[in-house]
Structure 1
């Protein structure tokens, strides 16, 4: 009943004129975190279970309990509550050794990026990510800066958020993990996601969702934030192929179209 009540609140938001049309997505209640890439959608619920969306149903991925899951060119990756890193291989999450991470992102051109609980940033080259097929040790590259959330797109553009809520932008090479200097971007957020086409969305500490506008080859970090009005608070977002996926603080999933 709680899920129904929360979703009814969502329905009252859809005519607010924020430029997005939203509908109820397939539900796996209570949802906690979502990630979309290359037409695929994965989810982690509050019970630390990972799922994959097929049609209108969510199907359990493996048996490992995860606190974050991500999908992209390099496959499906995740981290568990002990900050151990996994890759989904042949129906199960296979553990890698060599680096602990608290959050991981597989949205780049084969490379994997992630952060530790002490906010250090790490990158796994695309060749190493694709070659990983069984339990073993991976060699990660330590990157400059301190972040507690990081995400990359296939355009090599990467975004991150610090523990203080500051937003940053850079580019990272998928083959070498070579990085340009982080550029501070205006605004404050608790998480950021960049889509396959380079579109960027953030959720701030109040649960408000914003899209970065003005992104171009001349201004890859964009020019301003556009508020997407919702009447309930968001906890996590992801964007792929024109669809914005929103997880509410109440554990409900929305799918929105611009």
Structure 2
């Protein structure tokens, strides 16, 4: 059954239309992350969303989670399990709720509302005897993302945890956030959604890397009561008190023009940078463009930091608020991979830097050559995408932080003049002035299934996506910010 619902952004005025589809089956809890969706029903049966249907897995769990840390779950006896080699492995610990959405960390709470987490080294270990880190405080639900962790207490108060990292998952301090929720979830891109005691769903507005707690709660007028919510890669999954499952997708995009004029823009890791026709560099700060020193013809921001190239193909990295000249020659550069850097040269040759090179403070870097010829190359968590001089589209398999060159190419149907990959794996591109999104992308199917044309009212030449916001530069240099998350 297909329901078209008006999603009223109450603090923004106009409604953004979305389509919510009632999905088969019944669940009591669902979690989406890293392009995957898992859920459990009232009988604690476990399900995985595959090929547009639920596939039951072996075992029993009362709560399941999926994210950068993998697939984890807990059963009604508070036993903790991790999905390894297509089976559930019993891990040490006792939790009633668990979350794998952080930067390869796991977090959760026990029956006494004590809060715990596992550092990245514990997640990567093959051992079932893992060492948990205690976190002060008391919460009934705790969830993490790239910009920090959120939780709710037994009296439905909301808290944010600062300074959570892969090696110090305990963070540093709490901050109470205004509002009241019974549960909260953080998306892979940092989006925060939740449900209150009245069954109303909310999304946190204004979240950025500079302001990870956001600015306000926006009520989602979805037309039904919700008991659980999760968000990933543009899809909002909701469970009603009766176990009905809804999947909501954007159908119409709220776009507002921003001040200024640019030729290229890049969004990633909660930041946005751009350059204009004069190669002046700008950073989006406090809802306005702040000019930075220097000249660049192309700029990028992502997990690998802030990088750029000049019209002479010199490569620069932003370090200590300065542009530092690095070795190499590129005309286009991308920092959106898992702390790797990729790009194309003036001759359409393809190069990349492994994670150890992007994290180094050295200026003399060792680039890896990639076979093939592309004019634009962009990476994300599920691999890399590029287009060649004939506007043919290609996907690169086997890309990792330590082997950024990947293993092989696959041509993707369609034609684009440029392509960008978001931090959550979303892929957008431009063709003949129209913007397209790749549908069906997930960890199991990183190339997706088809291209969806977005119904924008202007002619685009460049596009970038991060944290629910699509940034579009028109052929006249106008810059639009489109809200494409629910």
1:109 aligns with 2:103: yes
Which structure has more relative contact order (CA 8 Å, sep 6+)? It is 1
Residues 95-244 of structure 1 aligned to structure 2 (within 5 Å): 95-97=90-92, 99-132=93-126, 136-153=128-145, 155-171=146-162, 172-244=164-236
Of 27, 52, 63, the match for 2:24: 27
* 1:108 shift after superposition: 0.8
Higher radius of gyration, 1 or 2: 2
Q: How many residues align?
A: 243
Please list every run of 5 or more consecutive structure 1 residues that lacks an aligned counterpart in the other structure.
1-6
Q: TM-score, normalised by structure 2?
A: 0.48
Name the SS of the counterpart of 1:107 in structure 2: coil
* 1:217 shift after superposition: 3.1
1:52 aligns with 2:43: no
* 1:23 shift after superposition: 2.5
Structure 2 distance, partners of 1:125, 1:163, is 25
Structure 1 distance, partners of 2:170, 2:27, is 35
1:255 aligns with 2:247: yes
Deviations 1:202-240 (A, max 9, x none): 100011001111112332101111110122210111001
Q: TM-score, normalised by structure 1?
A: 0.89
Q: Which residue of 1 is the match for residue 359 of structure 2?
A: none
Structure 1 distance, partners of 2:208, 2:149, is 14
1:43 aligns with 2:43: no
Residues 16 and 112 (structure 1 numbering): CA distance in 2 closer, same or farther, change over 3 Å? closer
Structure 2 distance, partners of 1:108, 1:53, is 21
Residues 217 and 72 (structure 1 numbering): CA distance in 2 closer, same or farther, change over 3 Å? closer
4+ residue stretches of structure 1 with deviation over 2 A? 15-20, 216-219
CA contact (8 A) 2:98 2:109 kept: yes
* 1:118 shift after superposition: 0.6
CA contact (8 A) 1:111 1:174 kept: yes
Pick the structure with more strand per residue: 2
Q: Tell me the C-alpha RMSD between the 2 structures.
A: 1.7
Q: Which residue of 1 is the match for residue 425 of structure 2?
A: none
Of 57, 68, 72, the match for 1:73: 68
Pick the structure with more helix per residue: 1
